[in-house]
Amino acid sequence: MASGFEWQTASPEEGGLISDRLESAWKELEGRGTKTFLVARGDRILFERYADDFDAGKKHYTASLAKALVGSLSLMVAMDDGLITPDDLACEYVPQWKDDPLKAKISIRHLATHSSGVEDAELSEEDCERARAEGREISGDHMELPGWKGGFWRQEPDPFTLARDEAPVIFEPGSAYDYSNPGMAMLAYTVTAALQGSKWPDIRTLLQERVFEPVGLTGDDWSIGYGTTFEIDELPLVANWGGGGFTARAVARIGRLMLNGGAWEGQQLIGPAVVREALAYAGTPVSEAQRVIGDRTPGSGLGWWSNFDRIWEKLPGDAFAGAGAGNQILLGVPSRDLIIVRNGSALDPDPEAKRFWNGVVDYLFDPVVDSFALQPPYPASRTITGITWDPPSQILRLARGEKRKDGSDNWPMTWADDGNLYTAYGDGYGFEPQIEGKLSLGLGVIVGGPKDFIAMNIRSQTGEFEGPGPQGEKSSGLVMVGSVLYMWVRNANREGKCSRLGWSTDHSKNWTWCDWVFEEFGHPTFVNFGQNYAGARDEYVYIVSHDNPSAYDAVDSFVLMRVLPEDLKSREGYEFFQEMDGKGQPVWAQNIADRGPVFTHPGQSRRSSISYNAGLGRYLWWQQLTTKGADTRFDGGFSLYEAPEPWGPWSTVFYSEQWDIGPGDLGCFPTKWMSEDGKTVHMVFSSEDNFTVRRAVLEVAE
């Protein structure tokens, strides 16, 4: 029976969102035919609105949202029971397909991801061309289509027999994407065949007893399968491609079940591994045809849609959705504990353009994301309890650029054996007197303390690069170890991706470069310790990067690497943080594919730097924050975290989406410019394309 769970309500602000922004989103949605709009986080409904002719107790039709709520859920339960797997051949459950050269190759995965090749029962361009050649008109209403396609929708004689026997396979299964309602019908067919002999002979009974009732749904909350069961070959078949009706809160409960990995109030309704597999990208082709016309069409999970490649740019990569015609939407974002339900008519202002997802992203997803008041991903530090910045009037600026003239940005730094700080700049002309030509990567040295330093350019034929933006290599991190200066360079492929390593034995005058690149990481940077790496934690050199090939994409997490100094130039010498073991110790992997996140901040993980504060015995991690429309050179914020080890646990020292000046594209805390007690530090950053220095005093718990 149903659990005792009930939705609680709270203000958007209590859930980390801003009321006025959600109200603005609702006004736009309401004007675009929205009937229901619900936003939930942390088991609380933060925002819930209905059109005047609708209410919370009224069911709304699902259209193809049923493919997730019915098709995927029934597949997941059957998978969890060991009755079927995604890579089973469909012909194991559909004997009529065994002798067909194409249909015999169709897998359950193909059916669940629209890659089976089974033609859709909708009007195609070929249908239109055929009609024109025959001199006849043809209706776009699928109920009026001739032949098996119209019969599928009119259920004449029944949709399942037509999907099985009449719908042709139009390409090699698994080789392409083509949305297919008959393909989804055959998924229902195979799942039902797999259920035979169990306590639940049909999908409706299965879902009612295994999912809907346990999560608290009553008969007034849902209906599925057009209210019909088709008896075919002794199989009780229920439609899973459409024909459902759910209240908004009922849909939200399904979203909660998915966010919780199939668990509900202490009961595991579906195994977490099955839920992860269903919601993740299934590895089959995406709709390139839709992407070509500008639609932000995601990849396919098993009956769900997956934001695996962040085609929905403002949402994390773990976002998933169910969707139906008219933009019936369930969105779930596990890393943000976010659920959105929307019903109504199509949001796209030009439905004839056939860009289904653009309206959803522009008028639903993005406005809700933009309603978030940014929140730190980790709790406030109990060690460094506050930070006080010098006023803007006391900020030092060199290599000035500002908006009308290029200065220079980035400025990673390290403390070298000669007592100086070595740095690198990007997209500019360096320190005064500035050089003649603009460099994508230039080099410099800082002599002296934070208030009386002298900054000079270093010219290098082998260390300088040219090229605008992503087309020019730029430094993302510097370190000196054993009197050798090492530098990570991003944009190694000259298209904004990849990174490579160089080294100099003569203090940045001449550079040698590795013949390999990190294709996986776009902004690696060294964890900096003291002079010439003095005071390092152990014998290793540590490196962090956000987990993405591009320095320009904000993603969900950072990764940590380590390597012995003598192996820095060898790709095979690197180890990757995987996880913490049961004893609280880091586990390292040699295979890069086994890496795990060392720091998670959904949608906000991009450029960063780490310095070890020896006076406090803490690591300080500067991270860029990416906010809507902000050019962080002139506007926006950043965050600062601390931890006792490079792998954490991390706590928040400072977090601001809107600092009093632009924080720049990168900031760092040179270890040379930290006080002996660690309480006074100086941040170097690229505000307004300058070399910018600002002092800060840390408040430390006794």
- Could you report the per-residue pLDDT of 10-43, keeping only the tens digit for each? 999 888 899 999 999 999 999 999 999 999 998 9
Which 8-state DSSP code applies to residue 310? -
Domain boundaries, the chain: 8-65+245-370, 84-197, 384-700
- Which pLDDT band holds residue 95 (cuts at 50, 70, 90)? very high
For residue 421, the model assigns a pLDDT of 99
Which 8-state DSSP code applies to residue 479? E
**Is domain 384-700 classified as CATH 3.30.200?**
no
Q: How far, in Å, CA of 106 to CA of 372, rounded? A: 43
pLDDT tens for 513-546 read 999 999 999 999 999 999 999 999 999 999 999 9
For residue 128, the model assigns a pLDDT of 67
Nearest CA to 524 out of 571, 468, 483 is that of 571
User: Token digits for 507?
Assistant: 């203090």
pLDDT tens for 302-319 read 999 999 888 998 887 789
Helix extents (H) in 13-158: 19-31, 66, 73-80, 108-112, 125-133, 147-154
pLDDT tens for 614-672 read 999 999 999 999 876 668 888 888 999 999 999 999 999 998 877 888 899 999 999 99
Q: Maximum CA pair distance of the chain?
A: 88
Q: Find all residues with CB under 8 Å of 113, minimum gap 6, and list them.
A: 177, 282, 284, 300, 301, 302
**Which is more confidently placed, 88 or 352?**
88
For residue 404, the model assigns a pLDDT of 40
For residue 180, the model assigns a pLDDT of 97
Q: Find all residues with CB under 8 Å of 608, minimum gap 6, and list them.
A: 523, 525, 544, 546, 558, 621, 622, 623, 624, 666
Q: What is the mean pLDDT of residues 119-129?
A: 80
The CATH class given to the 8-65+245-370 domain equals alpha beta
CA neighbours closer than 13 Å in the CB half-sphere of residue 12: 20
- Which pLDDT band holds residue 403 (cuts at 50, 70, 90)? very low
For residue 317, the model assigns a pLDDT of 78
Minimum mean pLDDT range among 36-50, 170-184, 236-250, 280-294: 280-294
Place of tokens 């033609």: 119
Q: What is the mean pLDDT of residues 602-622?
A: 97
Fold assignment, 84-197? Methane Monooxygenase Hydroxylase; Chain G, domain 1 (1.20.58)
Amino acid at 543: I
pLDDT tens for 334-381 read 877 899 999 999 998 776 667 899 999 999 999 999 998 888 899 888
Q: Is the pLDDT of residue 1 over 50?
A: no
Q: How far, in Å, CA of 53 to CA of 166, rounded? A: 41
